[in-house]
Structure 1
Amino acid sequence: MTDPYQQTGMVSSHTYPCGGCGARVQFAPGTNVLKCPYCGFQQQITAGDRQIREYALAELGTLPRKPVGSIGAYVLACPRCAARTETNESASPCQFCGTPLVVDPNATGQIVPEAVLPFRLDHNGVRGALGSWISSRWFAPNALKKVSTAESTKGTYLPHWTFDSQTTSYYTGARGEHYYVTESYTDSDGNRQTRQVRHTRWYHVSGQVSRFFDDVLVPASVVVPPQKLDQLAPWPLPEAQPYQPQYLAGYHSLRYDIEPETSLEEAKARMAQVIQQDCSNDIGGDEQRVESVNTNHADMTFKLMLLPVWIACYVYAGKNWQVLINGVTGEVIGDRPYSKGKIALAVVLALLVVAVLVYFFFINGHHTTTGTTTKHR
């Protein structure tokens, strides 16, 4: 039978009707239920028998998938208002009636997520986290505290690849050991003095270190800069649940646009930084030099995981600013404007403090000089 979705360019999607009033329920952060925003009806999310699976790296070439570059926008049909939406997201509310739409991942041609870390922070939690963050920005304009993020804050699941690897690394380097030599010198008064001078004696070393890496995270989307996402860590990954589309209901979710092969190289680079430190620690001594490291990776596995991030965007002084909030821990990082008036005031106050200190130093010094002169007479 011909797939009707392939004929129309559409992909199938999930919606979840309320058992109380017929509206659509959505995931309630910090719980394991879908909740109706109108009548309060709750529907439990059942775990079923699905488990989070790690895929052997050797299986990557056998997975049925399309290259990222060949996948166009999804076309979703809303079952409530019949509107069609073209989107690059795998979950989003209908732009016309707000009905939560979740793309069936099996119909996308991409690797299906294995795990999802559900949102724990709701809108009230976001407001509290943002309020604390803004209050701690001393040089932010006062008007920033009045910016409302209610309309511009989106709960979004961001895709990440995770990699496991058992590593064995062979290194060469040098261990530095300090020793002290007594040296003589002449001080400013012409007197002979002695002092201990430190030197370092270096020894060639080689060795082996091993480490198991579990769930090394690599962002799988270019929408948000990876360096910003890294600042939201750590993530409580043990709390992740086997992927179920219900966790995405009412939220946005980005599909991955970085292939796992590309992310694998980034994961190895992140592991290499830790291994470098392991080698340095293994060398010991007072100083260390790591000259070469050869790492073997064994039993490598990977999976796709969705992590929750609140993305807040606001406009200030005609410019867009973005703030990211960890949807579980409430960690906040982001951009903010600076108040030129506050900075100028701080500079003036600092100069005044310096001027006062110089003044008192001068007065005290003058009094001391005067007193000494009087006593001499």
Structure 2
Amino acid sequence: MEYECPACGGSLTFDSKSQKIKCPFCDSEYEISQFEENDGMNWEVRPGSQWDEGEESSMEVYSCNSCGGEIVCEDTTVSTSCPYCGNPVVLKGKLSGMLKPDYVIPFKLDKNAAKAALRRHVSSKKLVPALFKDENHIDEIKGVYIPFWLFNANVSANMNYRGERIRSWSDSKHNYVEHSYYDIYREGNVIFDNIPVDGSLKMPNDLMESIEPFDFSEAVEFKKSYLAGYMADKYDIDAKDSIDIANNRVKTSTEDIFRDTVGGYSSVIPQSSVVNLQHGSAQYALYPVWLLNTTWQGNTYTFAMNGQTGKFIGDLPMDKKAYWKKFRMMAGIFAVIGTVLAAVIDYMFV
């Protein structure tokens, strides 16, 4: 990128010694802030559509008085419990004020697959409380569609770097080190499709990220029938409130992509970065997740499985009574072994 000197019209360059923009023709110096460009990270966010006539009236919204979660179900659902905290939820009323999703990734794995994954996960741990092995408890696992905002954009960007190359050599009298400095410029375009941002405050971000990725190629146009037998979390983070996260992901990814094109230098220091969006838009989608949330001795434990790929994650508590029982048993065994070894050593030196 070239800047013109306000004094003489010459092309300005970055001066590494003064850390300012300098004109090599008239020696005028300017602060970098005078020539900074702002990223153009503006999105046209118009996700979702209105529900068809009759669709809203056939769905109910249940509210959890414990965690504040709102769950969307078919009107045939009599009662249920919150998939996030396990407490009973109460009927709030008919669905209203919620956009219709653009896309949905349907559940590929059923409840039996989720229960089997949870059993395998629990059985692999030796000191898990009995509650977590109880079949009735495992039956409480629920299929929930998690709301996501998917951001798409064409990105044009330019980056400036300061590169350094170091060359060393010696002769019979001296050792030499040569430092060469370079101004490096990169410009190009990147296309981003379906950058996901979780639209649920209740769903822990680290848990959701742990069961990603989802394969959007299997997404289909949303139809209400996909909710049959499942719940859908009513988003509490709208698309506009998700823009900062999307911007950060776009900017970071773009900078990483451009930086990977710069090689052959001893060191590379970024000098400036400008990222601009064109045709930035957002879509609203539902992703399938199996959830089990339970409480043990005042602590909440959540298990989640990707309803498309089967990826499973979840922490488990430790039964302290079983732990200390096993500890005392192992301590007794080691004590016996120690006594036997001591007797053998005494015998050897008699």
Q: Same fold, TM exceeding 0.5?
A: yes
The answer to whether the aligner puts 1:116 opposite 2:82 as a matched pair is: no
Q: Which residue of 2 aligns with 1:327?
A: 307
Report the alpha carbon displacement of residue 327 of structure 1 after superposing the two structures with TM: 0.6
Deviation at 1:248, TM superposition (A): 0.3
User: Following TM superposition, by how much is the alpha carbon of 1:268 offset from its aligned partner in structure 2, in angstroms?
Assistant: 1.2
Distance apart, 1:280 and its partner CA: 1.2
Give the letter for the 1:141 counterpart: V
**In structure 1, what is the equivalent of residue 245 of structure 2?**
266
**Cross-structure match for 1:103:** none
Provide closer, same or farther for how the CA distance between residues 132 and 285 of structure 1 changes in structure 2, counting only shifts above 3 A. farther
Residue of structure 2 aligned with 1:146, choices 133, 141, 145: 133
1:227 counterpart residue number: 206
1:272 Cα shift?
Answer: 1.6
Is the Cα–Cα contact under 8 Å of residues 175 and 205 in structure 1 kept in the other structure? yes
CA gap 1:97/1:339 in 2 versus in 1, 3 angstroms: closer
Q: For 1:282, what is the secondary structure of its paired residue?
A: coil
1:11 maps to what in 2?
none
Mapped to 1, the partners of 2:101 and 2:165 lie a distance apart of 50
Q: Secondary structure at the match of 2:261?
A: helix
Contact 1:174 1:283 in 2 (8 A): no
Q: Does 1:249 align with 2:228?
A: yes
What is the identity, as a one-letter code, of the residue corresponding to 1:333?
A: I
Q: Partners in 1 of 2:171 and 2:125 — Cα distance?
A: 52
Which residues in structure 2 correspond to 1:1-377 (within 5 Å)?
58=44, 60=46, 86-87=62-63, 88-91=70-73, 94-96=77-79, 108-137=96-125, 141=128, 143=130, 146-148=133-135, 149-177=137-165, 179-180=167-168, 202-286=181-265, 287-338=267-318, 341=323
Name the structure 1 match of 2:35: none
The answer to whether the Cα contact below 8 Å between 2:48 and 2:283 also exists between their aligned partners in 1 is no
Q: 1:125 to 1:258 in 2, by over 3 A?
A: same
| 2:119/2:133 contact within 8 Å kept | no
The AA in structure 1 aligned to 2:46 is: L
Distance, in Å, in 1 between the alignment partners of 2:270 and 2:122 is: 43
Partner of 2:6: none
Structure 2: gaps (5+ residues): 1-41, 64-69, 82-93, 339-350
RMSD over aligned CA atoms reads 4.0
Measured after TM superposition, the shift of residue 302 of structure 1 is 1.4
Q: Unmatched 5+ residue regions in structure 1?
A: 1-55, 66-74, 79-83, 99-105, 185-195, 357-377
- Answer yes or no: is the 8 Å Cα contact 1:114–1:304 preserved in 2: yes
Q: Name the SS of the counterpart of 1:283 in structure 2.
A: coil
Q: Secondary structure at the match of 2:288?
A: strand
Task: Using the TM superposition, give the Cα deviation of residue 174 of structure 1 relative to its aligned residue in structure 2, in angstroms.
Answer: 2.5
Mapped to 2, the partners of 1:165 and 1:85 lie a distance apart of 33
Shift of residue 183, structure 1, vs aligned partner: 11
**Gap change, CA 1:227 and 1:202, over 3 Å in 2:** farther
Per-residue deviation, 1:169: 1.1
Deviations along 1:182-201, whole A, 9 cap, x unmatched? 699xxxxxxxxxxx999985
Q: How far 1:109 moved relative to its partner?
A: 2.7
**3-state DSSP class of the match of 1:60?**
coil
With the length of structure 2 as denominator, give the TM-score of the two structures. Answer: 0.63
Cα distance in 2 between the residues matched to 1:253 and 1:247? 10
Q: Post-superposition shift, 1:89?
A: 2.0
Q: TM-score, normalised by structure 1?
A: 0.58
**% identical equivalent positions:** 23
* Distance of 2:168 and 2:116 partners within structure 1: 56
Shift of 1:264: 1.9
* Aligned residues of 1:76 and 1:86 also touching (Cα < 8 A): no
1:250, distance to aligned residue in structure 2 (A): 1.3
* 8 Å CA contact retained: 2:128, 2:316: no
The 2-side partners of 1:86 and 1:76 are apart by: 14
C-alpha separation in 1, matches of 2:319 and 2:80: 40
Q: Which moves more between the two structures, 308-317 or 297-306?
A: 308-317
Deviations 1:256-276 (A, max 9, x none): 111211112211111122112
Give secondary structure in 2 for the equivalent of 1:307.
Answer: strand
- Alignment correspondent of 2:87: none
C-alpha distance 57-173 of structure 1, shift in aligned 2 (>3 A): closer
Q: Distance in 1 between matches of 2:47 and 2:200?
A: 21
CA separation of 1:77/1:328 partners in 2, compared to 1, >3 Å: closer, same or farther?
A: closer
Q: Which amino acid aligns with 1:312?
A: L
Change in Cα spacing, 1:308 to 1:279, as seen in structure 2 (3 Å) is same
Instruction: Tell me the distance in 2 between the aligned counterparts of 1:197 and 1:307.
Output: 61
1:161–1:304: 8 Å Cα contact kept in structure 2? Answer: yes
